[in-house]
Amino acid sequence: MAKTDGKKYKMKLEQGFVGACGGEIIHQILTDHGVDLVFGFPGGALIPLFDVLYDSDIELVIPRHEQGAIHMAEGYARATGKTGVVIATSGPGATNLVTGLANAYLDSTPLVAITGQVKSHLIGNDAFQEADMTGISRPITKHNFLVNSVDELGRIFTEAFHIASTGRPGPVLIDVPVDITVNRLEKPANLTMRIPGYKPSTSGHLRQIESAAKVINESKRPLLYVGGGVIHSEATAELRAVQEKGRLPITTTLMGLGVVDENDPLALQMLGMHGSATANYATQECDCLISVGARFDDRVTGKLETFAPNATIVHIDIDPTSISKVVKADVPVVGDAKDILAKMVNFIEPKERTEWLEQIAAWKKQYPLAYEASDTTIKPQLVIEKLGELTNHDAIIATGVGQHQMWAAQFYKFRKPRQIITSGGLGTMGFGVPSAIGAQFASPDATVIDIDGDGSFSMTMVEIITAVQHKLPVKFIVLDNEYLGMVRQWQEMFFDKRYSGTVHPCPDFVKIAEGFGAKGLRVEDPAGLTDALQELLDYNDGPAVLVVAVDPEENVYPMVPAGKSLHEMELGRLA
């Protein structure tokens, strides 16, 4: 995690940093915060800043589109926990960041976005390439700044890194007029942060923690419901200690996948709209639901009135606004999950809970995540199952958004935190390609695989050029059904198979990959699937794309139809 260290920088400044231009100050602050890689695209308002970066040790990755840059920064941040940094020029460059900012905001990803702005005296005049970025980004950032003078530049950047990386992490945007990157500092800058209203609670209230433990101890059918907050908090070990001591079964959200090895008998996999039947039945039957770092999203709860009807709700979250926003918490605990769980374990009584765990084991046996096998057509679920086996469930998996994303969540069987990089809250199609590239920059030696659909892949596949340029061995698997499959599934189930807008003819992705300078592979026959996956995994001379022609009308099951309760799942053909 990038740490704020205003003091160190202050000393440097006092030792003669006066005279530096705005661009140099930005560069110095980035360096002081441990930034060694930024994703950015040049433009008129950024020329002086890029001129400083020309001589820098900070690696500058240039994508093909600013949306690619910000999703790469998100992938980088999600894979490491460090704050990602993205730079875009004024006007269209900055507005191209909007989707990524909204995505990072909903998924609590620490980012600092630096946008160029027109000269200070032109602001408000509809100047060339001017857009009101602080106005546009206000509802989709944790905070934003418009820099008014070079004197406040250092303080603002220090505050931005602090705000982005602490509390509930999130994106912070700094809009920097081009003249400020050129202007020189005349007196030592004061880096002391001036954000008296920003005091995220980290330490959990001991009495609340005790009350929560008491409720858990008294419950017969407890269930842990864990989200991405535990990953941001690096609290996996503390969670496991509580879980093992109390013998608590655990289900995770999409963002929480990886906090527990999904092969563990107490792990029920994901809950919600496309969650496992076991997780959904357990949620409806539990008498105590312990939410940690999750926010009761509508894709998790289904129909609210009948969600977890018998449960006392314990809600642990660092963001007080998450608590009782959707579901009223009986025992709220505000603070950092790591701190709270470390304290809580002392109050948890060891329990066997045999009856409840037997019930769960029975559900798991009766309703495993499954699909109808085929010898003639490749089932998308099979691709992911095989991939899990071939990579020992240990690769970093990025995804786009849609059916392929849900199958990846259901069938890969994640083992550790930061292994899945996916767009949970905003549901951003096109997130997979650039976020996988960002993750590979962060972990050059890891196997990074983007499991994508033909729809999502088409939106951002141009960024494969960036991976070619940097010789990154990112692997892209395109589950190609020539449909926008998730919407098609809804149309099949609820709109009389009227496939309005969802027929999606695809180009020859193999040739496109080759044209970009990547390796291109294609498989259509189930018999050739394992070999094709192995060939993809063995190729390390740069990026490679494997197009898998899959059963075009396969659906994601289980499915809780919109407006239904979790136990009213459609289980699919195997039911």
Partner 1 sequence: MKHVITALVQNQPGVLAHISGMFAARGFNIDSLVVGRTEDAELSRMTIVVVGDEAVLEQVRKQLGKVIPVVKVRDFTNTENVQRDLLLIRVHAPAEKRPAVVDLVNLFRGRVADVARSSVVIELTGTEDKIEAFIDLVRPYGIRELARTGVIAMLRGGRK
What residues line the site for partner 1 (CB under 8 A)?
134-135, 138-139, 142-143, 146, 163, 194-198, 319-321, 323-325, 328
Cβ of residue 216: shortest distance to partner 1, in angstroms?
25
96: Cβ–Cβ under 8 A, 6 or more apart, which residues? 65, 66, 67, 88
Intra-chain end-to-end CA distance of the chain, in Å: 45
- Between 123 and 361, name the residue whose CB sits nearer to partner 1: 123
Cβ of residue 121: shortest distance to partner 1, in angstroms?
16
Overall residue count recorded for the chain in this entry: 575
What is the Cα 389 distance to its own chain's centre?
24
Cβ of residue 136: shortest distance to partner 1, in angstroms?
11
Cβ of residue 481: shortest distance to partner 1, in angstroms?
36
- Between 325 and 416, name the residue whose CB sits nearer to partner 1: 325
Strand order in the sheet with 143-146: 59-61, 37-40, 84-88, 111-117, 171-177, 143-146
Please report, to the nearest 10 degrees, the dihedral formed by the alpha carbons of residues 152, 157, 159, 160 taken in order: 140
- Between 325 and 353, name the residue whose CB sits nearer to partner 1: 325
What is the torsional sign of CA 283, 295, 453, 75? negative
- Between 208 and 403, name the residue whose CB sits nearer to partner 1: 208
Cβ of residue 144: shortest distance to partner 1, in angstroms?
8
In terms of Cα–Cα distance, which of 108, 333, 564 is closest to 324? 333
- Between 139 and 563, name the residue whose CB sits nearer to partner 1: 139
Distances (CA, A) of 423 to 213, 220, 248, 400: 32, 35, 28, 7
* Residue 274 host element (H or E): none
Helix axis angle, 380-390 to 403-411, nearest 10°: 40
| φ, ψ (nearest 5 deg) of residue 451 | -90, 115
Please state, in angstroms and rounded to a whole number, the distance separating the CA atoms of residues 417 and 444: 18
- Between 205 and 325, name the residue whose CB sits nearer to partner 1: 325
Please state, in angstroms and rounded to a whole number, the distance separating the CA atoms of residues 373 and 382: 8
Cβ of residue 370: shortest distance to partner 1, in angstroms?
41
Cβ of residue 108: shortest distance to partner 1, in angstroms?
13
Cβ of residue 412: shortest distance to partner 1, in angstroms?
34
- Between 137 and 419, name the residue whose CB sits nearer to partner 1: 137
15: Cβ–Cβ under 8 A, 6 or more apart, which residues? none
- Between 94 and 472, name the residue whose CB sits nearer to partner 1: 94
